[in-house]
Amino acid sequence: MSTSARYWREIPQRYRYEGAKCKGCGEISFPPRIVCKSCGGREFDTVELAKQGKLLTHTVIRVGPSQFADQTPYAVGVAELDDGVRLTAQIADVDFDELKVGMPVKLEFRKVRDEGEAGIICYGYKFVPVR
C-alpha cells in the first residue's frame, strides 16, 4: 500500500523542519503537538528548527528493517539542535570511526527511502558532520 498520504502530511516537518513553539512557555515540540507537554498550552507559533547541533548518542545499524536493508550499514543518532530540540535521524557522509558524542552535525536534505522502483521517493532530513 502506498504511503503517499502519510508522507504528504509530514512534509512541513520532513522538508522544512517546522516545529511548534508554545506561546505560553516557549517549549518547541517536534513534530508539533496539540497540547504542550510542558505547560498544557494549546496555542503555538510555527518555527523552523535550528539547522545545527551536537550529537548526543549514535549507533550503527547493520541489520536494518526491510525498507532500509539496501542502505546497511548506516549510522543513526540523536542530536540536540542549537534551539534545544532533540532529533533522531540517520547520519550521512560519515566514517563510522569518526562518530563521537558531542560531534557537531547539521541537517541536510536527502532521500530517506523509496517505495521500490515504481513507488514514491521519500525525502527528508539527515545529519551530516560539520567539517
Partner 1 sequence: MAGIIGYGAYIPRNRIKVEEIAKVWGADAPSYKKGLMLREKSVPSPDQDVITMSVEATRSALTRCGIDAKKIGAVYIGSESHPYAVKPSGTVVAEAIGATPDCHCVDFEFACKAGSEAMFVCMGLVDAGAIEYGLAIGADTSQGAPGDALEYSAAAGAAAYIIGKDDGVAKMLATHSFMTDTPDFWRREYMHYPRHAGRFTGEPAYFKHVTGCANALLEKTNSKPSDYAYAVFHQPNGKFPMRVGKMLGFTKEQIEPGWLAPTLGNTYSGSSPMGLTATLDVAKPGDKIFMVSYGSGAGSDGFVFEVTDALPKMREKAPFTRTLLDENKVYIDYGTYTKYRGKIRKGE
Binding stretches for partner 1 (CB under 8 A) = 11, 15-16, 70-71, 92-93, 108-112, 121, 123, 126, 131
Q: Identify which of residues 56 and 92 has a Cβ nearer to partner 1 in the complex.
A: 92
Work out how close the CB of 86 gets to partner 1 at its nearest, in angstroms, rounded to a whole number.
22
Both ends of the chain: CA-CA distance in Å?
A: 40
Work out how close the CB of 4 gets to partner 1 at its nearest, in angstroms, rounded to a whole number.
11
Q: Identify which of residues 41 and 61 has a Cβ nearer to partner 1 in the complex.
A: 61
Measured distance CA(101)–CA(72) in Å, rounded: 21
Measured distance CA(21)–CA(61) in Å, rounded: 32
Work out how close the CB of 12 gets to partner 1 at its nearest, in angstroms, rounded to a whole number.
9
Q: Identify which of residues 36 and 105 has a Cβ nearer to partner 1 in the complex.
A: 105
The CA–CA distances, whole Å, from 38 to 23, 43, 72, 108 equal 12, 13, 37, 29
Work out how close the CB of 38 gets to partner 1 at its nearest, in angstroms, rounded to a whole number.
27
DSSP 5: H
Q: Identify which of residues 15 and 25 has a Cβ nearer to partner 1 in the complex.
A: 15
Helix/strand/coil (H/E/C) assignment for every residue in 45-61: EEEECCCEEEEEEEEEE
